[in-house]
Amino acid sequence: AIYESASVYYIAGFFLTVSVESLKIVAEHAVANNKTFCLNLSAPFIIDFFGDQVATALEYADYVFCNESEAAAYGKKHGLGDDLKEVALKIAASPKKNSAKPRTVIFTQGSESTLVACDGKVVEYAVEALAKEQLVDTNGAGDAFVGGFLASLLAEKEVGTCVDAGHWAARFIIQQSGCTLTKACEYKL
């Protein structure tokens, strides 16, 4: 199958509403071959209404992405409290199929620091301030962040560099109307 040639897999939470069976096929392949599997929780309603599917996917996730509202929804649903650092640590420490890799949990928070939890520690990465008049449209900011992060991860960069690339991509996209690319990417991996 074509998916077997990839080294990193990314599943958005919206996919959990369609075919968990397909996700498991890809995720089992990732675990069996020590490949990287990433999950984005995508929206609070995914957490609230597709909890069993999220739980299934989470067991396979080496990287978990979500924003602050999704993180708060997960914390509330699972009784993990309101402190997002604690929620991130608890998700990072939750059961995982591939014990050869630690789970890394990334919570974006708009203009506030991005939280990254792994191996019992949380690191905060500051977001560079953007003047209000430069902010055009926040649609796609989270997806752009993940795209930048994963591009750096594929280039075998350290997590901090991956976060920097994610911040750069999100900052670029929120200065555009819609998810448009008005020029070639100037970011160098």
Return the structure tokens found at 124. Answer: 């905060």
Conformation bin of residue 124: beta by default, left when phi > 0, alpha when psi is -120 to 50: beta
Catalytic residues: 143
Contact at 8 Å (CB) between 44 and 85?
no
The DSSP output letter for 126 is P
Nearest CA-CA partner of 23 in 45, 40, 44, 47: 40
C-alpha to C-alpha distance for 135 and 39, rounded to whole angstroms: 27
Nearest CA-CA partner of 92 in 112, 117, 109: 117
Phi, psi angle pair for 139, to nearest 5°: -60, 130
Phi, psi angle pair for 38, to nearest 5°: -120, 145
C-alpha to C-alpha distance for 89 and 16, rounded to whole angstroms: 23
Contact at 8 Å (CB) between 72 and 84?
yes
